[in-house]
Structure 1
């Protein structure tokens, strides 16, 4: 960095040159694409007939599942996530959410083998858990985006993030519906028949997002990386020395 560049205030620096921000936005968009496709597929899959690998739910049944899921999300966001983020950090929470989502999604085709009250209980639990994990990932990445820029750039960075996220969410439902329609026409396929193909592709996208959650792609902001005890003590000593020098000034 040249001397002239070092004098440029943070508010005037290009957001596109801020790789911690750009990488967090890209990973965020990947997971948003996955989440929108999942939500579209879940509703269509639930109301599909058993002959096509669905659950033969009514729209009222689907609404009940979504309502229970929303209540679980509300409780999680208010009481659980703040504690997790404080203890483990947003990056670790996002990675854990992606890892746990993969086996959960892989179990969805086998949920269709259940019936009656057992099916309702298992599907509600799976839906709550899946959405809790998705919200953990998204919230962690949003925190990273805001920590990657100074205060005066957060409005612009959030605008860019929301714009790209909206584009990803536009693709998600169309891609999810088309994928489910195609998969239901191949019930007798030898490899990944029916809805197994759907949730396999969702897992591929989830796994891609998980890979992007690590270095060298995702760079954590410097103030988001926890300092060692030695660094913290050094910072405290420097602060004490600065206060002493200021107090000694006439």
Structure 2
């Protein structure tokens, strides 16, 4: 017999069935549209890999690319930094616009456009023969791509909608971003200048004329494949919620409501506990400290990625590098992948035991000690006859560095989403991405300029080539110092519950 609608007109609830709610004005799927959490997380993971992959693909060969443009070795670092920074400078302004647009037209079309635009701009970059062309094409790549911030928002929305543990969801996000940062230099170094390194000249000697095009084509194909798969199978997440969640009032509070109404909630999680009082400034202070710390985190992350290629390609005989070619740079990063996988597997358990802030601080402490060790490798290589000792030390510190990067990034993403009201998540994630882009725009130029300065001045230790590694260590200290004042996780969770409860009926 056909069942009749309930008196209230609601649809019978089914466990773990997700719907797109009609309460929101943005474009959405029809109510009752079933989604597959696993399929969506896989597609978002591929998107999360694509953006950082394209942003750092050039690092292993940018040194040789700029040198082939006719610049002296001492000037390569600064010019390479300008090219790398062009991507992130433009992203500072483009990312908030993409996030705002995704609130209007949906996450899915914005991410698909970003993937296709990245593919086109990467091919144009691979055809670069001048510094100006390279900088413009990198700027275009940054302008069309706000996918990382949107993907971060999608991860939060999927986790909230499907009941997936935040630590597990954002460990996947952090792992995929770190994977992109690792695979980019690895693929870029392995496929750069294929005529010389692989004996592959391409159709009609294409790669003889454009030696840096092959890795860019690889990136373009990856972006297009992910874009097509997303167009076919990715679900829209704007307005997505668990169908069996308790229904909320239809009226959504405005930003003015949230700012004007003070938050005073009598929190009594246990007998005898004190009144828990917070206001909007409570979360603003935590958000400010988190974003400030992320500035130092991203500066030293991208600075090292830029510096490592310059350092590894510099002369071992002069004691300032390892005399690696592009394939050797790629080979040296091969152990980074297993380290990140281990970090990914450990993060959910670590997050349950220690929460976000302690894990993020521990990653900063690891960076403080790891960076200076890199600067000691040329002395080690020149002191021992067998290069195997240098390679063992190099791979150990690379694994530690990339493992700490995954833990730090995943912890940072969870923390950012924990201190943001769900209705402001897209805005804050866009702001966080702009802050990260600002930091990563500073990083390559800072790293390249300090490296060039230290080589030209020919100063004594520690102001010789060691200076850049010591600066990275100081940035790691700043990352930790700015996060110390953040309250414990249980207090943040209680404050967010109070915030939502107080404004639920606004």
With the shorter chain as reference, the TM-score category is 0.7 to 0.9
Give the superposition deviation at 1:16: 11
1:46 paired with 2:316, answer no
More helix by share: 1
Q: Does 1:34 align with 2:300?
A: yes
Q: Give the alignment's Cα RMSD to 1 decimal.
A: 2.9
Deviation at 1:221, TM superposition (A): 6.1
SS of residue in 1 equivalent to 2:376 = helix
- Structure of larger gyration radius: 2
Correspondence 1:150 to 2:406: no
Q: Is 1:202 aligned to 2:469, yes or no?
A: no
Deviation string, structure 1 residues 34-69 (Cα, Å, up to 9, x no partner): 110011111110110021510111111111122321
Q: Contact 1:148/1:221 (CA < 8 Å) preserved in 2?
A: no
The count of aligned residue pairs is 218
1:195, CA displacement in angstroms? 2.3
* 1:19/1:219 contact within 8 Å kept: no
What's the CA shift for 1:172? 0.9
Q: Comparing both chains, which one has the higher relative contact order based on Cα–Cα distances under 8 Å and sequence gaps of 6 or more?
A: 1
Report the CA distance between 1:85 and its aligned residue.
1.2
1:126 maps to what in 2? Answer: 397
Shift in Å, 1:134: 2.3
Distance 2:343 2:411 in 1: 14
- SS of the residue corresponding to residue 18 of structure 1 reads helix
Query: Structure 1: any 5+ residue segments left out of the alignment?
Result: 8-12, 227-250
**Residue among 363, 366, 377 paired with 1:100:** 366
Contact kept, 8 Å, 2:293 with 2:478, in 1: the verdict is: no
What does 1:37-186 correspond to in 2, within 5 Å? 37-50=303-316, 51-77=318-344, 79-115=345-381, 116-186=387-457
TM-score (norm 2): 0.40
Cα distance change on mapping 1:220 and 1:166 into 2, 3 Å: farther
Match of 2:483 in 1: 213
1:7-26 maps to which residues of 2 (within 5 A)?
A: 18-26=284-292
